[in-house]
A and B are shown apart, each in its own frame.
Chain A
Amino acid sequence: NAGVTQTPKFQVLKTGQSMTLQCAQDMNHNSMYWYRQDPGMGLRLIYYSASEGTTDKGEVPNGYNVSRLNKREFSLRLESAAPSQTSVYFCAARTRGLSTGELFFGEGSRLTVL
């Protein structure tokens, strides 16, 4: 089992370009999450999806869109990248319906916007 897989692992964009970060999980978890991590800021929640067909905003949703394509996949799109979106992005998954339950993280996608 791969767990949570993110692609790409590294990406460099120019300001204004668009891109999609892909995330897939093979653990049959219902809930999926996108976080960004910046130095000294910890992990900040961008969007999450409690179950297939639903998505909700987190702390820092501006400039991002998400799609829960099916139970396995949850993608994060930057329509017009900005330097402030330079960060490490983590996808995570966990069992739905509980306020408890551990998050399983992917290995991260390091994005640089020039």
Chain B
Amino acid sequence: GQQVMQIPQYQHVQEGEDFTTYCNSSTTLSNIQWYKQRPGGHPVFLIQLVKSGEVKKQKRLTFQFGEAKKNSSLHITATQTTDVGTYFCAGPGKGANNLFFGTGTRLTVIP
């Protein structure tokens, strides 16, 4: 069945350090999305990657989609306390309209 795994599950960083989370799928994905969930909040869409090898940047966040379209990464440069939360990747399932989420990486930033 559809599996999207994320590592690490938890990450504690000192403010100003970099952070990376990795997402791996057991199947080829047509696209991948990333979401951020603040503590106590709901997931909020960050970005979608569609093309093989695609790289997109949003300020200090860099998103990559693997060449084989089975993995992806999110890198945050110089973390800030506002980056705290859980980051999820999500990919489409077998149905055209469903979306499966990875297990998430919970980021803690120590001031």
- The answer to whether A and B come from one shared complex is yes
Bound complex: CA A101 to CA B33 (Å) = 9
Q: Are B48 and A102 in contact (CB-based, < 8 A)? A: yes
Bound complex: CA A108 to CA B40 (Å) = 9
Interface size on B, residues (CB 8 A): 29
Q: Is the interface of B mostly helix, strand, loop or mixed?
A: loop
Q: Are B33 and A56 in contact (CB-based, < 8 A)? A: no
B100: contacting residue among A40, A50, A59, A104, CB under 8 A: A59
Q: Are A43 and B42 in contact (CB-based, < 8 A)? A: no
Residues from chain B with a CB closer than 8 A to the CB of A101 are: 48
Q: Which of B95, B97, B104 has the most CB of A within 10 A?
A: B97
Q: Is the interface of A mostly helix, strand, loop or mixed?
A: loop
Bound complex: CA A44 to CA B41 (Å) = 16
A105 proximal to B (CB < 8 A): yes
Within 8 A of A (CB), among B21-74: 30-31, 33, 35, 41-45, 48, 50
Within 8 A of A (CB), among B1-37: 1-2, 6, 9, 30-31, 33, 35
CB proximity of B54 to chain A, nearest CB, Å: 13
A50: contacting residue among B92, B97, B104, CB under 8 A: B97
Interface size on A, residues (CB 8 A): 28
A108: contacting residue among B35, B42, B44, B95, CB under 8 A: B42
Given contacts A99-B31, A105-B43, A107-B42, whether A48 and B98 have CB atoms under 8 Å apart is yes
B96: contacting residue among A42, A44, A50, CB under 8 A: A50
Bound complex: CA A36 to CA B30 (Å) = 24
Residues from chain B with a CB closer than 8 A to the CB of A103 are: 33, 35, 43, 45, 90, 99
Which residue from chain A places its CB closest to the CB of B97 in the assembled complex? A50
Q: Are B45 and A102 in contact (CB-based, < 8 A)? A: yes
Given contacts A42-B103, A42-B104, A100-B50, whether A105 and B97 have CB atoms under 8 Å apart is no
Q: Are A99 and B96 in contact (CB-based, < 8 A)? A: yes
Within 8 A of B (CB), among A60-113: 90, 96-108
